[in-house]
Amino acid sequence: MPRPKKPKIPKPPKPPKLPPINKHKLIERLVEKPSQNIKLWLIKECSILKKLEEKFPLPFLNQLKYSKKWQSLAVLFCDDLMLDLERRYRVYLYVPPTHETITLGEKSGEDLKIEKKKSLREILS
């Protein structure tokens, strides 16, 4: 008897290309903007963002949301927040496993009959 062929699973459609990520808007969304020396502040935060990009991709960093704004992106390098970032990144990368569909064919073989031991109540009645 030949083996049944596996059903072909269609490939998911490619996601549309996203527009490029604006790093300055990303920084302004996560960090409080100072009232003076904005250009120096932006240069410093961009360098910190580049260090974060070495560990995490930019699309992941772009989707980060926190309840409050930080003083600087350097805060994210502390132990607790780095662990939180790594946990969020694992969640970001997680892809649920796909379940294989099982196709049932014709039945083969015989049923196995299992006899139960009689209980005391069945013996006495």
Q: Write out pLDDT tens, residues 23-33.
A: 889 898 889 98
Mean pLDDT computed over 45-68: 89
Q: Is the pTM of this model over 0.75?
A: no
Please choose, from the candidates 56, 61, 48, 51, the residue with its C-alpha nearest in 3D space to the C-alpha of residue 22: 61
* Digit-coded pLDDT (tens) for 31-44: 998 888 889 999 99
Find the distance separating the first CA and the last CA of the chain, reported in whole Å. Answer: 51
